[in-house]
Amino acid sequence: MFENLSNRLSHVLRNINGRGRLSEDNIKDTLREIRMTLLEADVALPVVRDFINRVKESAIGKKVNKNLTPGQQFIKILRTELVNAMGNENNTLNLSTQPPAVVMMVGLPGVGKTTSISKLGRYLQEKQKKKVLVVSTDIYRLAAIKQLETLAKTISIDFFPSNVNQKPLDIVNQALNQAKRKFYDVLLVDTAGFFHLDKRMMSEIIAIYGIITPVETLFVIDAMTGQDAANIAKVFNQALPLTGIILTKVDSDTRGGAAFSIRYLTGKPIKFIGIGEKTDALEPFYPDRIAGHILGMGDILSLIEDIESKIDRNKAEKLAIKLKKGDNFELTDFLDQLKQIRSIGGMVSMISKLPKINQLSDNFKLQMDNKVLIRMEAIINSMTLKERIRPEIIKGSHKRRIAAGSGVKVQDVNQLLKQFNDMRQTMKKIKKIKNSDITKIIQKKNRISSTFSNR
């Protein structure tokens, strides 16, 4: 996410971070490079001008905090302005109304509105415990209604049936009545995608808006559209009172410019970002976390939230009790850990949220590919239960059988067994640590955390 922009900015900031002091000349030189970086990231020119002026105004003549180097002070200013440009804080959906709260999605064709509807439905159901009903008014795209119905069934939320022979206005009227009768908390309305210059379709969307009077009208836009996304959103915003934006396909090879431009040109907050194809791949948009990620500071809070929401607590507690009792860490336990890592997006997703990840070599990132986890799971699945409990019995003929069964080489089996043995040895050492030593480690961790928070 925003990897290209992050890499370029990190390169620029490394130059100023080593400076002993901040002068007007080196600030101007750095800002010139940042300006080019933002333009190459497809950030709209008016946004770049305003952003650079704000950073310049904040940096020149700024008294340097005694706890920071001049370079760190500049990065702190840059981060503050990045957050300001993207909206300061997360803007949640405003659902505080008499149920059902109606949420309407609009946008161009092919930007992922229908998928976003299902993702948002799942998010509201799982995170906010809402009773959700979804409906499609898209009678123009082949299989659009069927697609939403299939997605709704996949995530176990209710779907209001419609068909291409109905009029969109009739569909939303009936869906709204159903939502009221059945006491739904939220009604999500999927609309037909159309180009902003299509006056007939724009009139239809405005008519739908007038009937359902949504509390939220979300504009869905593909992050790969670049600065054109902001201009298109501006046209939609003139016709409809948009309340927020969902930025899709943020996980693709996008340059990141849309996240800056849309907020500035429309004044509307980005409320969610789509980070994948799966129905759980929707995240609230936090400007401060994105800014930290762009500047190579990582996104630890999002990583913690992923772990809290997707890790099986029962399995984790059982493993902790098992290890505390002195029982051996087995390959079956290792397999469970691999599955849990994959459930939160795999190693690629995890390390992408760690600080300074953009400074790691491409070779290291390649080794963290999720395919490695899948291959490791296949190897363990090809073992017998006895082999998983006592891996030391796995000899040459066993390894050849396991390799053949999992479609890998014997060297891959050897590598997994070595990694597992290293992990088991580490766990044995951890068990020997005294409570006083643990207390010292925690105290040291708190001191480090305090130092970073002061920065």
Beta bridge partners of 188: 103, 134
Predicted local distance difference test score (pLDDT) of residue 445: 47
**Residue with structure tokens 């724009």?**
202
The answer, yes or no, to whether residue 449 has pLDDT greater than 50, is: no
Structure confidence by residue, pLDDT tens digits, 215-235: 999 998 887 766 666 677 777
Q: What is the mean pLDDT of the chain?
A: 76
> Which parts of 241-382 fold into alpha helices (H)?
257-266, 287-294, 300-310, 313-324, 331-343, 346-351, 362-367, 370-381
What is the rounded average pLDDT of the residues 330-353? 66
What CATH architecture is 303-450? Orthogonal Bundle (1.10)
Query: What fold characterizes domain 101-297?
Result: Rossmann fold (3.40.50)
Question: Per residue in 372-418, pLDDT tens?
Answer: 778 888 898 899 988 888 888 888 889 999 999 888 889 889 988 88
Greater pLDDT, 51 or 427 = 51
Q: What is the per-residue pLDDT for 293? A: 63
| pLDDT for residue 307 is more than 60 | no
At the fourth CATH level, which superfamily is domain 3-86? SRP54, nucleotide-binding domain (1.20.120.140)
Question: Strand 244-248 to strand 158-160: parallel, antiparallel, or no bridges (unpaired)?
Answer: unpaired
Give the residue-averaged pLDDT of 189-218: 86
Region of residue 390 (left: phi > 0; alpha: psi -120 to 50; beta: else)? beta
Q: pLDDT value at position 374?
A: 82
The pTM score is 0.62
> How deeply is 454 buried, as exposed, middle or buried, from its count of CB atoms within 10 A (0-12, 13-18, 19+)?
exposed
Separation between Cα atoms, residue 41 and residue 295, nearest integer Å:
14
Q: Which residues in the chain are classed under CATH 1.10.260.30?
A: 303-450
- Token code pair at residue 332: 């079956």
Rounded CA separation 373/342 (Å): 8
Would you state the pLDDT for residue 300? Answer: 44
Number of neighbouring beta carbons within 10 Å of residue 195:
11
Please say if the pLDDT value at position 188 is more than 60.
yes
- pLDDT confidence of 84, banded at 50, 70, 90? confident
Cα(282)–Cα(232) distance, integer angstroms:
22
**Spatial CA neighbour of 191 closest among 237, 148, 130:** 148
Q: Which of 144-148, 223-227, 306-310 has the lowest mean pLDDT?
A: 306-310
Residues annotated within a binding site? 107-114, 248-251
pLDDT in tens, 310-339: 555 666 666 566 555 555 677 877 777 777
Lowest mean pLDDT among 240-249, 277-286, 332-341, 386-395: 332-341
DSSP 353-369: TSTTGGGS-HHHHHHT-
pLDDT, tens only, 92-129: 888 888 889 999 999 888 888 899 999 999 999 988 89
Question: Which residues line the annotated binding site for GTP?
Answer: 107-114, 248-251
CATH 1.20.120.140 residue ranges of the chain are 3-86
In Å, what is the CA distance from 163 to each residue of 87, 107, 140, 366? 39, 21, 10, 46
Q: Residue 396 has which token pair?
A: 């040459």
Read off the tokens for 346: 């795999």
- What integer pLDDT is reported at residue 8 of this predicted model? 61
Q: Quick one: which of 112, 106, 41, 85 has its CA closest to 267? A: 85
Contact between 139 and 192 under an 8 Å Cβ cutoff? The reply is: yes
What residues does CATH 3.40.50.300 cover in the chain?
101-297
Q: How far apart are the first and last CA of the chain?
A: 25
Residue partners of 48: CB distance under 8 A and separation at least 6: 35, 38, 39
- 267 pLDDT above the threshold of 60: yes
Give buried/exposed letters for 138-175 (b at 16+ CB in 10 A, else e). bbeeeebbebbbebbeebebbbbebeeeeebeebbeeb
The sign of the CA dihedral 86, 302, 226, 202 is negative
Q: Looking at residue 278, what is its pLDDT?
A: 82
**pLDDT value, residue 16:** 61
